[in-house]
Structure 1
Amino acid sequence: MSTPRPSAAHPAHPALPAVEDAIRAHTGNAFRITHAAPASGGCIHSAMTVSDAAGTRYFVKLGPAHCAPMFAAEADGLAAIAASDSFRTPAVVALGAAGEPDAADQAGGHAFLVLEYLALQPLQSATDGARFAEALVAMHRRTGETFGWPRDNFIGRSPQHNAPHANWAQFFAEHRLRPQLALARDKGFGGELHKQGERLLPRIPALFLDYRPRESLVHGDLWHGNAAMLADGTPVLFDPAIHHGDRESDLAMTELFGGFPSNFYATYRKAWPLHEDYEQRKLLYSLYHVLNHLNLFGRGYLGEALRLVTKLNEELTLGRG
């Protein structure tokens, strides 16, 4: 087995020999890594592109050994989206590990996920927005029998529990908000946030009195950094936190951090109008992601989390839920 030659842009990673072997096992050819370069892949894992002398490229995510369940869940989510016949997703080439982690703390080893390399472009034009919206509607129309998913997965590094449930409001309260609030308290962000959160949890069903969401296939982490286009206009999704849930939760996430063309929203609403109370439930869905960012990245998100939970409680007190 040859050791990959480090490129000028990136030193050789200790997991690259195992990555090379995994690609060769999948493709059945004599692939050899001759170049490895860092790639933008979010802030949770390190990422790189690897290529051989012929220019064949793959996208690789790397992390400590304990990241293996995250990569497995990501592969599962990509397969589910691909099976929906709505979006293009990067094909999963290999899941694997390198090195021998310590049995006590999983230190010392590496996990990796190898994906098909796609030349991605951001959503920019009105046409991009329309095509992406059409694909999202198609994915959301793929429904399950219950809310949740057959396996637990992750939202960033945070565990996301997906035990099946017939009632979406209860599912969201117990499997989305409650764990994030508990984690925030454990990280020292209790106080008023915890007080307001505990007040909100039993009141969440009031936001669904006149709205019965379908068990739509949702991406779960649909910000603009996880959405793209190919040069031929094909919409692409990746980095999913997949489950069956309220389609409004995906729409709310697209608005939370911006980045989608305005025509995306117009096209989506024309194809499948949103319920009149969406703007209020959007606060609820945004709260989940802001709490997760608070738990992952720290105090900078505390003010926004407290603002959202307080506003929801105020609106419910006024009888608007």
Structure 2
Amino acid sequence: MTLLSALCREISRASGSPFVLRDRRSAAGGCINETAVLQGQDGRGFFVKLNRPDLAHMFAAEAEGLLALRTPGAIRVPEPLCHGVVEGRSFLVMEHVPLGGPSRPALFGEQLAALHRHVAPRFGWYRDNTIGSTPQINPWCDDWVVFYREHRLGFQIRRAAKAGGGAGLIDAVEQLMEGLPALFPGYRPVASVLHGDLWSGNHDTDREGRPVIFDPAVYYGDREADVAMTELFGGCGPEFYAAYESVWPLDPGYRVRRDLYNLYHLLNHFNLFGGGYAGQSERVARRLLAEVR
């Protein structure tokens, strides 16, 4: 059986309706997975991700993350259909959402704030997942500062040390971890459901102009982490941030903690791609150390 035939079989089983392939086309995606859109003769379309069979757990976690983001009904999220391993490839099949409609940053801001209103009693998630292809560890924790220190910064800096991160970077981040409580004066975040990887490549609008989020790294954490990520590689524009704060204002300390939350992603980029991310991470860590002192 070919891979395409096996995927059509899995779609038919999961959807409860025979899926006969009319067209397959490659889809734009990241650098981690092979992606395609499968169009059926009945008009149904599905977005498919493929990878090595040993990465099936990554797709299982992504499917569960998509469901977690869909549960509040606050913003459009593709519906996962099935995942597993066929013909020597791991796969994830989800609803295909045609993108590229008119941008509506204010609506996106309002809907993201509404999503963040969905909270849990503790920080973390019921399972680990991945951020890109890096493991993301999510044990339940009552203390956000402890969670972020140990399972976000600590996890990444240990990997960075093994990957050849310089002594200056390691020292700066370790000092920052020790002084972390000083960056949370009077601020006690709630455990909001987070997309977890909300850079510009992981959100868009559908053809009707409705915001859509996808490719998540879900956990429950400080909502500021999601907002900060939108600013890391180019922001969403003033309308987005004004609309978000009209629904749920940010604490004044966000302007400092924004760097703290993006440091996690910069360290992850160093661990994934190397290059100049080490220097950028060290500069951000030392800037934060100035706030601690």
Q: CA deviation at 1:221?
A: 0.7
Q: Which residue does 1:87 correspond to in 2?
A: 75
Report if aligned partners of 2:49, 2:91 keep a CA contact under 8 Å in 1.
yes
Partner residue of 2:210 out of 221, 226, 234 = 234
Structure 1 unaligned runs (5+)?
4-14, 100-108
Distance in 1 (alpha carbons) for counterparts of 2:18 and 2:286: 59
Q: Does 1:191 align with 2:167?
A: yes
Report if aligned partners of 2:102, 2:209 keep a CA contact under 8 Å in 1.
no
Describe the SS at the equivalent of 2:204: strand
Q: Does 1:59 align with 2:38?
A: no
Distance in 1 (alpha carbons) for counterparts of 2:112 and 2:220: 14
Q: Does 1:256 align with 2:232?
A: yes
Aligned runs of 1:85-234 on 2, under 5 Å?
85-99=73-87, 109-121=88-100, 124=103, 128-234=104-210
Distance in 2 (alpha carbons) for counterparts of 1:208 and 1:251: 17
Distance in 1 (alpha carbons) for counterparts of 2:292 and 2:101: 38
Report if aligned partners of 1:129, 1:260 keep a CA contact under 8 Å in 2.
yes
Q: CA deviation at 1:66?
A: 1.7
Structure 2 unaligned runs (5+)?
none
Q: CA deviation at 1:55?
A: 4.4
Over aligned residue pairs, what C-alpha RMSD do you find?
Answer: 1.5
Q: Which residue does 1:285 correspond to in 2?
A: 261
Q: CA deviation at 1:54?
A: 4.6
Q: Which has the higher contact order (CA 8 A, sep 6+)?
A: 2
Distance in 2 (alpha carbons) for counterparts of 1:261 and 1:315: 26
Describe the SS at the equivalent of 2:193: strand
| Change in CA separation of 1:81 and 1:123 when aligned onto 2, cut-off 3 Å | farther
Question: 2:264 is aligned with what amino acid?
Answer: Y
Distance in 2 (alpha carbons) for counterparts of 1:238 and 1:123: 18
Q: Which residue does 1:21 correspond to in 2?
A: 9
Question: 2:181 is aligned with what amino acid?
Answer: P
Q: CA deviation at 1:300?
A: 2.6
Q: CA deviation at 1:35?
A: 2.5
Question: 1:249 is aligned with what amino acid?
Answer: A
1:88-142, Cα deviation, whole Å (9 max, x unpaired) = 111111112123xxxxxxxxx2100011111112673xxx111111111111111
Q: Which residue does 1:39 correspond to in 2?
A: 27
Report if aligned partners of 2:101, 2:208 keep a CA contact under 8 Å in 1.
no
Question: 2:81 is aligned with what amino acid?
Answer: V
Q: Which has the larger radius of gyration?
A: 1
Distance in 2 (alpha carbons) for counterparts of 1:157 and 1:42: 11
Q: How many residues align?
A: 293
1:161-183, Cα deviation, whole Å (9 max, x unpaired) = 11111111110000100010011
Describe the SS at the equivalent of 1:299: coil
Report if aligned partners of 2:101, 2:209 keep a CA contact under 8 Å in 1.
no
Q: CA deviation at 1:314?
A: 2.1
Describe the SS at the equivalent of 1:254: helix
Q: Which residue does 1:6 correspond to in 2?
A: none
Distance in 2 (alpha carbons) for counterparts of 1:205 and 1:44: 35
Describe the SS at the equivalent of 1:282: helix
Report if aligned partners of 2:66, 2:216 keep a CA contact under 8 Å in 1.
yes
Q: What TM-score do you get using the length of structure 1 for normalisation?
A: 0.87
Describe the SS at the equivalent of 2:229: helix
Distance in 2 (alpha carbons) for counterparts of 1:147 and 1:53: 44
| Change in CA separation of 1:123 and 1:303 when aligned onto 2, cut-off 3 Å | farther
Distance in 2 (alpha carbons) for counterparts of 1:145 and 1:257: 31
Distance in 2 (alpha carbons) for counterparts of 1:260 and 1:167: 30
